[in-house]
Amino acid sequence: MSVKDIILINVFGADQPGITSQVTQVLANFDASVLDIGQAVIHDQLNLGILAAVLDAGVTEAVTEAVSERIKRLDMRVKFFPISIQQYRDWVDQQGKKRHIVTLLARKIEARHLAAVTEITADLGLNIDKIVRLSGRVPLGADETLGRACIEFSARGEPRDAELLRTSLLELAGLYNIDIAYQQDTIYRRSRQLVVFDMDSTLIDAEVIDELAHEAGVGQQVAAITEAAMQGELDFEQSFRQRLALLEGLPVEVLQSVAKRLRLNEGAEYLIKRLKQLGFKTAIVSGGFIYFARYLQSILGVDYVYANELDIHDGHVTGRVSGTIIDGQMKAQLLRELAHREGLRLEQVIAVGDGANDLPMLQIAGLGIAFRAKPLVVASAQQSISNLGLDGILYLLGYSDRAIDVLDD
């Protein structure tokens, strides 16, 4: 194809059916080729861009006049921008550059959030070339405390300092009480098929061992050890054995009563329902107790559960567990085994947790998410969600509310 002129045609105005058809029919009349095309509609206002190649330079003016006349009939506006052959070649050469996804999540997204995020990405060398709202339309007067808002930015290039970009976005998230995820846009982002969850304070809003300790009358002692372990101040196995020993003599009937009063964290049931509809496998890999993991499995339909087995004798908890204790390293090992069983690469696995003992599995998973986690865990994890529910994970996978709602049709 011997191109003589390249024109960027920008059509904008009130959206209506047939605009693209009208413009491309004119271009077809002049045997023009379309090198690129894209459009966006915001609040019924269309912005359409067509990059057209004209094979005969002598007809370029006639092309623009014909397009202008057709657009005028539609009561819209059009602008033309000449593109040099070298500019086009430079644009083509950019398609091999890495792409990154920045996802902004909040109860309500404000202009200052967008300004801050885009300033950081621009300062560190990323060029945003696409912005999409993944969350649904929000009615005026809606309760913002229960809202979900998400904007996804697609950026091209390589940041000058990837670690500075990550820490800057993390600081910004803390400043504004929002969540910001930054990940490379690879083929694995849309091919993940397994989600591994921690249980305590991740799927549920409690630490089961603390609930059992309350029933045993040793709540304060156990809670203090639990907090130290979650902060990474104590070795998990050592702290676990200390807490477990305090439960000696607890009647087994208490397990059922505690299980029945456990509450799922925000978005847990919705997320797992949607993941199952999308064909994902799900697992609970917990340093807690298998009794409660199986209880959640019966409610949520989780595919796999791994947790510690409480040792029970004569209807009472002995203060010990049967078998190997599931600590952080064991969680990572179980994640690897599950990936192998499902025939998946680690890049296709998502891990979600809140504690220091979750970090080993969060760090080897293709997408590791710290959920409402302690500062130490947030700082060390790949991504974090602290302000929305677990269903916010769907946004990190690139799913819009509109796409998910189709699953109910």
81: left (phi over 0), alpha (psi -120 to 50) or beta: beta
In whole angstroms, what is the distance from residue 208 CA to residue 289 CA?
A: 8
Q: How far apart are the first and last CA of the chain?
A: 45
Please name the amino acid found at residue 7. I
In whole angstroms, what is the distance from residue 408 CA to residue 403 CA?
A: 10
In whole angstroms, what is the distance from residue 197 CA to residue 349 CA?
A: 11
Task: DSSP letter for 160, please.
Answer: S
Task: DSSP letter for 144, please.
Answer: G
Please name the amino acid found at residue 118. T
Read off φ and ψ for residue 405, nearest 5 degrees: -60, -25
Output the DSSP codes for 103-143.
Answer: EEEESS--HHHHHHHHHHHHHTT-EEEEEEE-SPP--TT--
Beta bridge partners of 154: 101, 130
In whole angstroms, what is the distance from residue 78 CA to residue 12 CA?
A: 6
Name the token pair of 75: 């009561």
Torsion angle defined by CA atoms of residues 335, 260, 248 and 224, in that order, rounded to the nearest 10 degrees: 70
- Strand 5-14 vs strand 149-156: parallel, antiparallel, or unpaired? unpaired
What residues are annotated to the active site? Answer: 198, 200
Which one, of 167, 80, 87, 82, lies nearest residue 120 by Cα? 167
In whole angstroms, what is the distance from residue 242 CA to residue 237 CA?
A: 9
Residue 113 burial class via C-beta count within 10 angstroms: exposed 0-12, middle 13-18, buried 19 and up: buried
- 3-class secondary structure, 254: helix
